[in-house]
């Protein structure tokens, strides 16, 4: 199977020049746009650097807040509609920007499903889910934006759910592709290298993703989230790919069957 992997479009419709792929692995974060990012960074600075407990709505004010919501949702929907229109199967999951609980806390949890990816026939949400095609089992883990260790409940919940899916996958005797929004913890891809971010230099990877990879050794792990990292590394036996920053044009073509045949990184 040939896959086109990309994520973190953040409101920008991707330019896809090649048709030489069977399916798309869309790694989340279709939502968000530049104004929102600037404001979120300022808000996070208050929260992280000054210990404030102000909500995003209080920080930006009600009018800007509701405009941002509207714009972000429109943008996210445009990106996913475009990806759906390519007439390929789209395996996807919500990124942290598609999960409105953090910033737009009044939204219901399932907003992603009820609005962003609603009624798009090619799009398959794989967050904590499992699917298979002729060559692979694909398992997804979305949303995660941190190491999960400060909240053991969160770690245990996600790890157990994924573990169940990986055990089920073993019976299929097909290689597993693990798609995750975040990157595995404490790897070359997991440290934040973004000077504009209030959390620059911090470790931001996922322990759940890392521990699942170590335990079940999927053929591939493909993530996004850390826009500054674009490339591949090995974590144990697993080849891990960071799909970079979709908004700037990063994407990856992967040809894999029982083994990985080729990986091509495309900028622009
Ligand atoms: Zn992103």
| Mean model confidence pLDDT for the chain | 91
**CA–CA separation, 246 vs 14, rounded Å?**
7
Residue 35 has φ and ψ, to the nearest 5°, of -60, -40
Split at pLDDT 50, 70, 90, the class of 98 is: confident
CB atoms within 10 A of CB 171: 8
Between the CA of 137 and the centroid of ligand 1 the distance, in Å, is 25
pTM as predicted? 0.92
Percent of the chain's residues with pLDDT above 90:
67
Of residues 81 and 31, more confidence is placed in 81
pLDDT of residue 177: 98
Backbone Cα Rg of the chain: 18
Residues less than 5 Å from ion ligand 1, measured at CB: 8, 29
- What pLDDT shows up at residue 144? 85
Burial (CB count <10 Å: 0-12, 13-18, 19+), residue 243: buried
182-216 pLDDT, tens digit per residue, is: 999 999 999 888 887 777 888 889 999 999 999 99
Q: Calculate how far, in angstroms, residue 187's C-alpha sits from the geometric centre of ligand 1.
A: 18
Both tokens of 49, joined, read: 């650097």
Residue 170 CA to chain centroid, in angstroms?
24
Instruction: Enter the DSSP assignment of 185.
Output: S
Cα–ligand 1 centroid distance for 97 (angstroms): 7
Ligand 1 centroid distance, CA of 52 (Å):
24
Residues 124-172 have pLDDT tens digits of 999 999 999 999 999 999 988 888 887 888 899 999 999 999 999 999 9
Ligand 1 center from residue 181 Cα (angstroms): 8
Report the alpha-carbon angle 131-186-235, nearest 5.
50
Asked if 138 contacts 220 with a C-beta cutoff of 8 angstroms, the reply is: no
Q: Distance from the CA of 259 to the center of ligand 1, in angstroms?
A: 28
What's the Cα-to-Cα distance from 168 to each of 86, 138, 139, 227, rounded to whole Å? 31, 11, 11, 32
Q: How far is the CA of 106 from the centre of ligand 1 (A)?
A: 22
Q: How far is CA 118 from CA 49, 64, 77, 124, 134, in A?
A: 38, 26, 9, 10, 26
What is the pLDDT, as a whole number, of residue 230? Answer: 96
Topology annotation, domain 2-266 = Purple Acid Phosphatase; chain A, domain 2 (3.60.21)
Question: Domains of the chain: which residue ranges?
Answer: 2-266
């Amino acid at each position: 199977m040939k896959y086109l992997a990309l994520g973190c479009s953040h409101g920008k419709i991707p330019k896809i020049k090649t048709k030489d792929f069977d399916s798309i692995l869309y790694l989340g974060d279709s939502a968000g746009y530049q104004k929102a990012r600037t404001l979120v960074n300022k808000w996070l600075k208050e929260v992280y650097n000054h210990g404030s407990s102000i909500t995003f709505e209080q920080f930006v004010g009600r009018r800007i807040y509701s405009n941002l919501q509207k714009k972000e949702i429109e943008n996210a929907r445009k990106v996913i509609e475009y990806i759906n229109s390519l007439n390929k199967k789209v395996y996807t999951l919500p990124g942290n920007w598609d999960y409105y609980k953090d910033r737009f806390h009044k939204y219901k949890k399932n907003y992603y499903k009820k609005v962003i990816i609603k009624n798009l026939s090619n799009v398959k949400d794989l967050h904590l889910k499992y699917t298979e095609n002729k060559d692979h089992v694909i398992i997804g883990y979305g949303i995660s934006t941190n190491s999960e260790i400060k909240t053991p409940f969160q770690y245990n919940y996600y790890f157990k759910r994924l573990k169940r899916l990986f055990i089920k996958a073993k019976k299929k005797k097909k290689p597993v592709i693990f798609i995750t929004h975040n990157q595995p913890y404490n790897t070359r891809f997991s440290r934040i290298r973004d000077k504009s971010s209030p959390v620059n230099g911090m470790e931001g990877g996922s322990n759940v993703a890392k521990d699942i990879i170590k335990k079940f050794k999927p053929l591939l792990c493909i993530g996004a989230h850390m826009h500054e990292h674009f490339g591949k590394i090995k974590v144990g036996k697993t080849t891990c790919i960071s799909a970079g920053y979709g908004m700037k044009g990063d994407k990856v073509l992967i040809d894999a069957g029982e083994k990985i045949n080729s990986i091509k990184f495309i900028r622009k």
